[in-house]
Amino acid sequence: DTAVSQTPKYLVTQMGNDKSIKCEQNLGHDTMYWYKQDSKKFLKIMFSYNNKELIINETVPNRFSPKSPDKAHLNLHINSLELGDSAVYFCASSQRGISGNTIYFGEGSWLTVV
Amino acid sequence: KQEVTQIPAALSVPEGENLVLNCSFTDSAIYNLQWFRQDPGKGLTSLLLIQSSQREQTSGRLNASLDKSSGRSTLYIAASQPGDSATYLCAASGGGADGLTFGKGTHLIIQP
């Protein structure tokens, strides 16, 4: 069983479109995250949710809007896509924040904006 | 703000060698430090997590150490195998739901 699953795995879309990436975890974790890995392979946190509540919102454009319908799901919606949004987006989860627990990552969603 | 640096950026060694990957972090007030492996086109697999109160963790041929006072961690891989080829990422946690601060990784190639 996949612990953290995200869909779609690959997404190619045109500039200006709106797209969503879905994430689900079946680990019973309280905290979920979205990370972005850019073309230089550098991973950086975008958002963190704890029990459906936004904890971290790093400096990302407000075109990016996370939605957490329940603590097992954290979806990422992106409006008005730009070329620079092309990256790999990773969803992750952990129990009660990262302080003492392993963080589990999804397989990633490869977004290409053309 | 925490910064994590990994040296070397890339490493290529013959099969069977023991090797050490280095990670340094600027803020010693961490809750834990985690080592991950990333294969091309794949997500991240957690290898070892060292709590701030611990000095090292071992899993099979992997051993990770942590020296908070000097802001350093090392990942030791014994008897390397071609299947160990991947990018190894070090990440420091500030605690709570702050997430992880990642280094840029070490791209490791083990030559058969």
Question: pLDDT for B11-62, tens place per residue?
Answer: 999 999 999 999 999 988 888 899 999 998 888 898 999 988 999 999 999 9
Nearest to B49 among A42, A97, A102 (CB): A102
Burial string for A21-38 (b: 16+ CB within 10 Å, else e) reads bbbbbeeebbbbbbbbbe
Query: Which whole-number Å values give the CA distances from A102 to A1, A29, B1, B34, B47, in the listed order?
Result: 18, 11, 22, 8, 9
Nearest to A98 among B87, B89, B98 (CB): B98
pLDDT of the residue at B70: 94
Other C-beta atoms within 10 Å of B19: how many?
A: 16
Nearest to A97 among B34, B46, B96 (CB): B96
Task: Print pLDDT tens along chain A (114 aa).
Answer: 669 999 999 999 999 999 999 999 999 998 899 999 988 878 988 988 888 788 777 778 899 999 999 989 999 999 999 999 999 999 999 886 555 567 889 999 999 999
Closest residue in A to B5 (Cα) is A42
pLDDT of the residue at A97: 58
Query: CA nearest A74: which of A109, A34, A103?
Result: A34
B109, two tokens: 């190639």
**Which chain B residues touch A108 with a CB distance below 8 Å?**
42-43
B51 near A CB under 8 A? yes
Distance CA B22, CA B30 (A): 17
A61, two tokens: 């454009």
pLDDT of the residue at B28: 87
B62, two tokens: 């992997």
